Structure 1
Amino acid sequence: MRAGHEETVERRSLWTSEPAERRSTPDPVRTAAVRAFILASVAVVLATITVLWMLAGSWLAFPAVPATVLSVVVATWSAVDVWVTRQVWIQRHGIVSGPGSTARALSREHRLARRRARTGARVRPAHRSLPQV
Protein backbone atom coordinates (compact mmCIF):
# COMPACT_ATOMS: atom_id res chain seq x y z
CA MET A 1 0.00 0.00 0.00
CA ARG A 2 1.21 3.43 -0.81
CA ALA A 3 1.22 6.25 1.71
CA GLY A 4 -1.84 8.45 1.41
CA HIS A 5 -3.76 5.81 -0.48
CA GLU A 6 -6.08 3.85 1.75
CA GLU A 7 -7.80 0.76 0.51
CA THR A 8 -10.71 -0.77 2.23
CA VAL A 9 -9.95 -4.37 2.82
CA GLU A 10 -12.93 -6.55 3.49
CA ARG A 11 -12.01 -9.26 5.96
CA ARG A 12 -13.82 -12.53 5.73
CA SER A 13 -14.23 -14.73 8.74
CA LEU A 14 -12.53 -18.08 8.62
CA TRP A 15 -15.39 -19.64 10.56
CA THR A 16 -19.06 -19.08 9.93
CA SER A 17 -21.66 -20.59 12.21
CA GLU A 18 -24.62 -22.20 10.56
CA PRO A 19 -27.69 -23.53 12.31
CA ALA A 20 -27.60 -27.27 12.85
CA GLU A 21 -29.97 -29.41 10.83
CA ARG A 22 -30.47 -31.81 13.73
CA ARG A 23 -30.35 -31.42 17.48
CA SER A 24 -27.10 -32.50 19.06
CA THR A 25 -26.96 -35.69 21.07
CA PRO A 26 -27.48 -35.19 24.81
CA ASP A 27 -24.30 -35.33 26.90
CA PRO A 28 -24.98 -38.65 28.71
CA VAL A 29 -25.77 -40.37 25.41
CA ARG A 30 -22.69 -38.87 23.76
CA THR A 31 -20.52 -40.03 26.66
CA ALA A 32 -21.90 -43.57 26.42
CA ALA A 33 -21.35 -43.57 22.65
CA VAL A 34 -17.73 -42.45 22.97
CA ARG A 35 -17.11 -45.12 25.62
CA ALA A 36 -18.71 -47.77 23.38
CA PHE A 37 -16.59 -46.68 20.43
CA ILE A 38 -13.37 -46.87 22.44
CA LEU A 39 -14.25 -50.30 23.84
CA ALA A 40 -15.21 -51.60 20.39
CA SER A 41 -11.92 -50.28 18.99
CA VAL A 42 -9.97 -52.04 21.72
CA ALA A 43 -11.89 -55.27 21.01
CA VAL A 44 -11.09 -55.09 17.28
CA VAL A 45 -7.39 -54.41 17.92
CA LEU A 46 -7.22 -57.23 20.46
CA ALA A 47 -8.97 -59.64 18.07
CA THR A 48 -6.53 -58.72 15.30
CA ILE A 49 -3.53 -59.25 17.54
CA THR A 50 -4.95 -62.58 18.73
CA VAL A 51 -5.44 -63.81 15.15
CA LEU A 52 -1.90 -62.78 14.23
CA TRP A 53 -0.48 -64.58 17.30
CA MET A 54 -2.48 -67.69 16.45
CA LEU A 55 -1.17 -67.63 12.86
CA ALA A 56 2.37 -67.22 14.17
CA GLY A 57 1.92 -70.09 16.62
CA SER A 58 2.83 -67.97 19.61
CA TRP A 59 2.03 -69.10 23.15
CA LEU A 60 0.54 -65.62 23.77
CA ALA A 61 -2.49 -66.60 21.68
CA PHE A 62 -3.71 -68.88 24.48
CA PRO A 63 -4.39 -66.13 27.07
CA ALA A 64 -5.38 -63.68 24.36
CA VAL A 65 -8.40 -65.72 23.18
CA PRO A 66 -10.38 -65.42 26.46
CA ALA A 67 -9.38 -61.77 26.70
CA THR A 68 -10.70 -61.20 23.18
CA VAL A 69 -13.97 -62.93 23.96
CA LEU A 70 -14.34 -60.86 27.12
CA SER A 71 -13.58 -57.62 25.27
CA VAL A 72 -16.21 -58.43 22.62
CA VAL A 73 -18.79 -59.07 25.36
CA VAL A 74 -17.89 -55.77 27.05
CA ALA A 75 -18.07 -53.89 23.72
CA THR A 76 -21.50 -55.39 23.02
CA TRP A 77 -22.68 -54.46 26.50
CA SER A 78 -21.48 -50.88 25.98
CA ALA A 79 -23.39 -50.66 22.70
CA VAL A 80 -26.54 -51.77 24.53
CA ASP A 81 -25.70 -49.15 27.18
CA VAL A 82 -25.83 -46.43 24.53
CA TRP A 83 -29.31 -47.53 23.52
CA VAL A 84 -30.54 -47.76 27.12
CA THR A 85 -29.04 -44.37 28.02
CA ARG A 86 -30.76 -42.79 25.03
CA GLN A 87 -34.11 -44.32 25.96
CA VAL A 88 -33.79 -43.21 29.59
CA TRP A 89 -32.86 -39.66 28.52
CA ILE A 90 -35.87 -39.48 26.21
CA GLN A 91 -38.14 -40.80 28.96
CA ARG A 92 -36.87 -38.33 31.55
CA HIS A 93 -36.72 -35.25 29.36
CA GLY A 94 -39.79 -35.76 27.23
CA ILE A 95 -40.30 -36.52 23.63
CA VAL A 96 -38.75 -34.52 20.86
CA SER A 97 -41.73 -33.25 18.97
CA GLY A 98 -42.99 -30.43 16.87
CA PRO A 99 -45.02 -27.53 18.27
CA GLY A 100 -48.31 -29.05 17.12
CA SER A 101 -47.75 -32.36 18.82
CA THR A 102 -50.77 -34.12 20.28
CA ALA A 103 -48.70 -35.39 23.18
CA ARG A 104 -47.61 -31.88 24.10
CA ALA A 105 -51.20 -30.58 24.04
CA LEU A 106 -52.37 -33.50 26.20
CA SER A 107 -49.55 -32.89 28.66
CA ARG A 108 -50.52 -29.19 28.81
CA GLU A 109 -54.14 -30.12 29.60
CA HIS A 110 -53.05 -32.47 32.40
CA ARG A 111 -50.77 -29.80 33.84
CA LEU A 112 -53.57 -27.20 33.82
CA ALA A 113 -56.00 -29.66 35.43
CA ARG A 114 -53.50 -30.39 38.23
CA ARG A 115 -52.92 -26.68 38.74
CA ARG A 116 -56.68 -26.01 38.96
CA ALA A 117 -57.07 -28.88 41.44
CA ARG A 118 -54.28 -27.50 43.64
CA THR A 119 -55.64 -23.94 43.66
CA GLY A 120 -59.16 -25.25 44.31
CA ALA A 121 -57.93 -27.25 47.31
CA ARG A 122 -56.20 -24.17 48.75
CA VAL A 123 -59.17 -21.82 48.30
CA ARG A 124 -61.84 -24.18 49.66
CA PRO A 125 -62.25 -23.77 53.44
CA ALA A 126 -61.53 -26.89 55.40
CA HIS A 127 -64.35 -26.69 58.01
CA ARG A 128 -66.25 -29.61 59.38
CA SER A 129 -69.73 -29.61 60.74
CA LEU A 130 -69.91 -30.30 64.42
CA PRO A 131 -71.62 -33.53 65.42
CA GLN A 132 -75.20 -33.10 66.57
CA VAL A 133 -75.75 -34.01 70.22
Structure 2
Amino acid sequence: MRKDRDIPRAASDGIPPGRVRTLWVEEPARRYRLPDPVRTAAVRAVIIVAVTLVQAMVALLCSLAGSWLAFPMVLSTVASVVAATWGVLDVWVTRQVWRQRHGVVSAPSSSARQVRQSRRPQRLSGA
Protein backbone atom coordinates (compact mmCIF):
# COMPACT_ATOMS: atom_id res chain seq x y z
CA MET A 1 0.00 0.00 0.00
CA ARG A 2 1.44 3.33 -1.07
CA LYS A 3 1.15 6.33 1.15
CA ASP A 4 1.08 9.95 0.11
CA ARG A 5 4.65 10.29 1.36
CA ASP A 6 5.83 7.73 -1.15
CA ILE A 7 4.53 9.66 -4.16
CA PRO A 8 7.29 11.73 -5.74
CA ARG A 9 6.54 15.43 -5.94
CA ALA A 10 7.57 18.10 -8.38
CA ALA A 11 9.88 20.81 -7.10
CA SER A 12 7.22 23.41 -7.79
CA ASP A 13 4.76 21.92 -5.23
CA GLY A 14 6.08 24.11 -2.45
CA ILE A 15 5.69 21.31 0.09
CA PRO A 16 8.83 20.12 1.89
CA PRO A 17 9.75 16.50 1.08
CA GLY A 18 9.09 15.21 4.62
CA ARG A 19 5.54 16.57 4.95
CA VAL A 20 2.33 14.85 3.91
CA ARG A 21 0.05 16.72 1.54
CA THR A 22 -3.39 17.20 3.08
CA LEU A 23 -6.53 16.70 1.09
CA TRP A 24 -8.33 19.81 2.39
CA VAL A 25 -6.73 23.18 2.95
CA GLU A 26 -8.77 25.70 4.91
CA GLU A 27 -8.65 29.19 3.45
CA PRO A 28 -10.09 32.35 4.96
CA ALA A 29 -13.26 33.65 3.33
CA ARG A 30 -12.81 36.49 0.89
CA ARG A 31 -16.24 37.92 1.67
CA TYR A 32 -18.29 37.83 4.82
CA ARG A 33 -21.36 35.62 5.04
CA LEU A 34 -24.70 37.31 4.33
CA PRO A 35 -26.85 38.06 7.39
CA ASP A 36 -29.58 35.49 8.03
CA PRO A 37 -32.59 37.62 6.95
CA VAL A 38 -30.85 38.66 3.74
CA ARG A 39 -29.78 35.10 2.95
CA THR A 40 -33.33 33.84 3.58
CA ALA A 41 -34.75 36.46 1.23
CA ALA A 42 -32.11 35.61 -1.40
CA VAL A 43 -32.91 31.88 -1.26
CA ARG A 44 -36.62 32.65 -1.55
CA ALA A 45 -35.98 34.91 -4.55
CA VAL A 46 -33.84 32.29 -6.30
CA ILE A 47 -36.56 29.64 -5.86
CA ILE A 48 -39.27 31.99 -7.18
CA VAL A 49 -37.15 32.98 -10.18
CA ALA A 50 -36.37 29.32 -10.95
CA VAL A 51 -40.08 28.39 -10.85
CA THR A 52 -40.84 31.38 -13.07
CA LEU A 53 -38.30 30.26 -15.65
CA VAL A 54 -39.73 26.74 -15.67
CA GLN A 55 -43.24 28.12 -16.10
CA ALA A 56 -42.12 30.36 -18.94
CA MET A 57 -40.53 27.37 -20.70
CA VAL A 58 -43.66 25.24 -20.25
CA ALA A 59 -45.83 28.12 -21.52
CA LEU A 60 -43.61 28.47 -24.59
CA LEU A 61 -43.66 24.76 -25.34
CA CYS A 62 -47.43 24.59 -24.85
CA SER A 63 -47.88 27.55 -27.19
CA LEU A 64 -45.71 25.92 -29.84
CA ALA A 65 -47.62 22.65 -29.51
CA GLY A 66 -51.02 24.38 -29.70
CA SER A 67 -52.13 22.93 -26.38
CA TRP A 68 -55.13 24.21 -24.43
CA LEU A 69 -52.82 24.59 -21.43
CA ALA A 70 -50.93 27.45 -23.12
CA PHE A 71 -53.28 30.25 -22.05
CA PRO A 72 -53.42 29.32 -18.34
CA MET A 73 -49.65 28.86 -18.31
CA VAL A 74 -49.08 32.29 -19.84
CA LEU A 75 -51.34 33.86 -17.21
CA SER A 76 -49.56 32.07 -14.39
CA THR A 77 -46.20 33.04 -15.87
CA VAL A 78 -47.20 36.71 -15.83
CA ALA A 79 -48.20 36.36 -12.18
CA SER A 80 -44.91 34.60 -11.43
CA VAL A 81 -42.91 37.39 -13.08
CA VAL A 82 -44.61 39.86 -10.73
CA ALA A 83 -43.78 37.59 -7.77
CA ALA A 84 -40.17 37.18 -8.93
CA THR A 85 -39.78 40.94 -9.21
CA TRP A 86 -41.13 41.28 -5.69
CA GLY A 87 -38.71 38.62 -4.48
CA VAL A 88 -35.67 40.34 -5.94
CA LEU A 89 -36.76 43.71 -4.56
CA ASP A 90 -37.32 42.02 -1.19
CA VAL A 91 -33.65 40.98 -1.12
CA TRP A 92 -32.55 44.53 -1.86
CA VAL A 93 -34.86 46.11 0.75
CA THR A 94 -33.99 43.52 3.40
CA ARG A 95 -30.28 44.17 2.82
CA GLN A 96 -30.73 47.93 3.17
CA VAL A 97 -32.86 47.57 6.32
CA TRP A 98 -30.30 45.22 7.89
CA ARG A 99 -27.52 47.69 7.15
CA GLN A 100 -29.43 50.56 8.74
CA ARG A 101 -30.42 48.61 11.85
CA HIS A 102 -27.03 47.09 12.48
CA GLY A 103 -24.95 50.17 11.74
CA VAL A 104 -22.49 49.22 9.04
CA VAL A 105 -19.40 51.34 9.58
CA SER A 106 -18.67 53.73 6.78
CA ALA A 107 -15.47 55.74 6.99
CA PRO A 108 -15.02 58.83 4.87
CA SER A 109 -12.28 58.79 2.32
CA SER A 110 -9.06 60.65 2.93
CA SER A 111 -9.99 63.35 0.43
CA ALA A 112 -13.28 64.01 2.24
CA ARG A 113 -11.40 64.15 5.54
CA GLN A 114 -8.98 66.74 4.15
CA VAL A 115 -11.83 68.93 2.91
CA ARG A 116 -13.50 68.80 6.34
CA GLN A 117 -10.25 69.70 8.09
CA SER A 118 -9.66 72.62 5.75
CA ARG A 119 -13.20 73.97 6.36
CA ARG A 120 -13.10 73.55 10.13
CA PRO A 121 -11.06 76.70 10.91
CA GLN A 122 -13.28 78.70 8.56
CA ARG A 123 -16.42 77.67 10.42
CA LEU A 124 -14.92 78.46 13.82
CA SER A 125 -13.58 81.87 12.79
CA GLY A 126 -16.73 82.82 10.86
CA ALA A 127 -19.11 82.17 13.79
Tell whether the structures are fold-level matches, with TM greater than 0.5: yes
Equivalenced residue count is 94
The aligned counterpart of 1:44 is 53
The residue identity in structure 2 corresponding to 1:10 is R
Distance 1:21 1:43 in 2: 32
The aligned counterpart of 2:39 is 30
Q: Deviations over 1:32-60 (max 9, x none)?
A: 11110110011011001101101110001
Give yes or no for the alignment of 1:77 onto 2:86: yes
The aligned counterpart of 1:128 is none
Compute the RMSD of aligned alpha carbons: 2.1
With over 3 angstroms needed to count, the CA separation of the structure-2 counterparts of 1:96 and 1:34, relative to structure 1, is: farther
The aligned counterpart of 1:57 is 66
Aligned residue among 20, 23, 35 for 1:14? 23
CA positional deviation for 1:10? 3.5
Structure 1: tracts of 5 or more residues without a match: 2-6, 103-133
Normalising by structure 2, what TM-score? 0.66
The aligned counterpart of 1:90 is 99
The residue identity in structure 1 corresponding to 2:19 is E
Distance 1:57 1:16 in 2: 55
The residue identity in structure 1 corresponding to 2:77 is T
